[in-house]
């Protein structure tokens, strides 16, 4: 993923600067065009020549040392960067970034950059936990800056705690992932993907119904990401509170029975089904044609079971790859595995709806994916868009979808 990308590595003044050498080596080996900026402090720990030798490019240390008279170095570098990573990032450089200071080559470049920026902090544990540092990091997070968390262990200052620069391979893997998310390969090109989203609406009478809290966010995110991965996407949606995605075929339904019809009609031409909808398990047995009038003190509503759409697909499937969802409050793995088997899915995505970062209406989700053998992947708390992409990348891999040449967006 990093091949041909210009990655600017900002090295600030901490003992962990030596680890940035290994990071630059990895990125160079991965085919990236690595440009290093060192702060004055960094150059006290490692010489610019070390980075120059690894990257085969002159190292930037001074804003005013303009090597090419035709450009302004920090603007030119910021414009050319596909990605900037500051590793190690000291408390000082983090503070400067948070407050928009630009007093050296690294901070001027960071201010001029519009590409994604990743920060890998390294410092003493007490510094890392200091409210000023925590607040500065939060400010940066809110601006979209990403962090590769430091590790916990023996620190150079003698303390044991959190503050050790993440390992170079971990930072490199994070950067790969980021590039992948920004420019996903068209792994699903030529595939027809059917996604269901939202909560079904089961009519009681013309003005009343039974539904659930599903917002459609997760299903919509999956539809958008499937389209980015090159698929031809049909989105069958019921009750939703989100803006509809663009570039996909939209099929609006109301009840579980409508959804069943819409899905079955398209199933034979479909390669992948992702059933993110929250389908009502029961519907009123006799929906009234006219508004039910208030009469007795009690009203009993008789419900009958809806068909299980996913299980029906599981029975009928030939070539189709089936991904189901399992919203659970307890015994996640047990329930997810039972659903996977009962509905004959290839993957089931479970989330704990009691988790404050997961479930209905939230912008984030914490997905745990299971296959026939048990746990297949667990993703950390991610935005629903990122979670959707990770899920589809795993799905595409399981479907055996290859990467076409030049498949980037």
Interface with ligand CTP by CB under 6 A: which residues? 256, 275, 277, 279, 281, 306, 308-310, 324-327, 339
* Closest separation in Å from C-beta 279 to ligand CTP: 4
- State how far the Cα of 276 lies from the Cα of 288, in Å rounded to an integer: 29
Secondary structure, 3-state, 313-343: HHHHCCCCEEEEEEEECCCHHHHHHHHHHHH
> Based on CB atoms, which residue is closest to ligand CTP, 126 or 342?
342
Is the previous residue joined to 229 through a cis bond, with omega within 30 degrees of 0?
A: no
Alpha helices in 157-276 (DSSP H): 168-182, 217-228, 256-267
Contact 225, 392 (CB under 8 A): yes
DSSP characters over 123-134: --HHHHH-HHHH
> Based on CB atoms, which residue is closest to ligand CTP, 136 or 306?
306
Selecting among 24, 115, 157, 345, the annotated active-site residue is 157
Cα 327 to Cα 216, 217, 334, 368: the distances in Å are 14, 14, 12, 11
- State how far the Cα of 386 lies from the Cα of 218, in Å rounded to an integer: 10
157 noted as active-site residue: yes
> Based on CB atoms, which residue is closest to ligand CTP, 174 or 325?
325
φ, ψ of residue 320 to 5 degrees: the values are -70, 145
Structure-token pair, residue 140: 């940066």
* Closest separation in Å from C-beta 309 to ligand CTP: 3
Which residues make Cβ contacts (< 8 Å) with residue 125, sequence separation at least 6? 155, 159, 160, 161, 162, 163
Contact 306, 261 (CB under 8 A): no
Angular region, 84: left φ>0, alpha ψ -120 to 50, beta rest: beta
Q: Which of 274, 301, 298, 299 is nearest to 287 (CA)?
A: 301
Catalytic residues, by residue number, are 157
């Amino acid at each position: 993923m990093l091949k041909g990308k210009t990655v600017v590595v900002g090295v600030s003044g901490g003992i962990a600067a030596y680890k940035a050498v290994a990071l630059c080596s990895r990125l160079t080996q991965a085919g990236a065009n690595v440009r290093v900026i060192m702060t004055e402090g960094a150059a006290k720990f490692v010489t610019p020549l070390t980075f120059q030798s690894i990257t085969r490019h002159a190292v930037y240390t001074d804003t005013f040392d303009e090597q090419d008279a035709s450009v302004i170095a920090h603007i030119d570098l910021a414009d050319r960067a596909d990605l900037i990573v500051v590793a190690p990032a000291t408390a000082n450089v983090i503070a400067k970034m948070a407050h928009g200071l630009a007093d050296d080559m690294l901070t001027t470049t960071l201010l001029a950059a519009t590409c994604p920026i990743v920060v890998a902090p390294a410092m003493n544990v007490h510094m890392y936990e200091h409210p000023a540092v925590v607040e500065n990091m939060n400010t940066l997070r809110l601006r979209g800056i990403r962090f590769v968390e430091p590790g916990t262990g023996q620190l150079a200052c003698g303390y044991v705690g959190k503050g050790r620069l993440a390992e170079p391979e971990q930072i490199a893997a994070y950067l790969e992932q980021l590039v992948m998310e920004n420019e996903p390969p068209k792994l699903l090109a030529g595939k027809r993907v059917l996604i269901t989203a939202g909560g079904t609406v089961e009519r009681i009478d013309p003005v009343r119904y039974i539904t659930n809290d599903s917002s459609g966010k997760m299903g919509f995110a999956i539809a958008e990401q499937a389209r980015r991965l090159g698929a031809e996407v049909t989105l069958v949606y019921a009750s939703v509170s989100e803006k509809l995605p663009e570039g996909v075929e939209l099929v609006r339904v109301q009840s579980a029975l409508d959804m069943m019809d819409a899905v079955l009609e398209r199933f034979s031409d479909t390669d992948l089904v992702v059933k993110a909808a929250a389908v009502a398990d029961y519907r009123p047995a006799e929906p009234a044609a006219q508004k039910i009038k208030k009469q007795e003190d009690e009203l009993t509503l008789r419900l009958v079971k809806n068909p299980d759409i996913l299980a029906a697909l599981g029975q009928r499937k030939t070539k189709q790859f089936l991904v189901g969802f399992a919203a659970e409050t307890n015994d996640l793995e047990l329930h997810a595995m039972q659903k996977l088997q009962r509905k004959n899915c290839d993957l089931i995505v479970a989330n704990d709806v009691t988790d404050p970062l997961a479930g209905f209406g939230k912008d984030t989700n914490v997905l745990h994916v299971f296959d026939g053998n048990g746990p297949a992947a667990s993703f950390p708390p991610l935005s629903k868009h990122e979670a959707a992409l990770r899920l589809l990348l795993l799905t595409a891999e399981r479907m055996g979808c290859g990467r076409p040449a030049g498949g980037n967006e």
